[in-house]
Amino acid sequence: MEWNSLYESLGFGNLPVCVAKTHLSFSHDPNLKGVPKDFTFPITDIRASIGAGFLYPLAAEITTMPGLPTRPAFYDIDIDPETEVIDGLF
């Protein structure tokens, strides 16, 4: 199944798209400087960030960072006021 068909069938076909690519070029290739012409733009994967509300295709070999959890970790961190021991970090 094609990626676009998969996301369409899951009801995510109307989400906006944000392309993850190198910042060093308009193309996928950081070595193509300026405004390159007549190049193929390879999409290696398409991922969904459903909570944020968008799809993001990955161009060539791009590294992404993981998203944040729904519940921030600071909710589970506490400091004992008498002993000043921090609980919940690890």
Rounded Cα–Cα distance for residues 56 and 68 (Å)? 16
pLDDT of 1 = 52
With CA atoms as reference, report the closest residue to 57 among 74, 69, 40, 45.
45
CATH superfamily for domain 1-90: Formyltetrahydrofolate synthetase, domain 3 (3.10.410.10)
pLDDT of 65 = 82
Element (H, E) at 8: helix 3-9
User: 87 falls in which pLDDT band (50, 70, 90)?
Assistant: very high
For the chain, the average pLDDT equals 87
pLDDT digits (tens, 9 = 90+) for 21-53: 888 888 888 888 888 888 888 888 899 988 889
Per-residue b or e along 6-16, where b marks 16 or more CB atoms closer than 10 Å to that residue's CB: ebeeeeeeebe
Q: Lowest mean pLDDT: which of 1-5, 59-63, 76-80?
A: 1-5
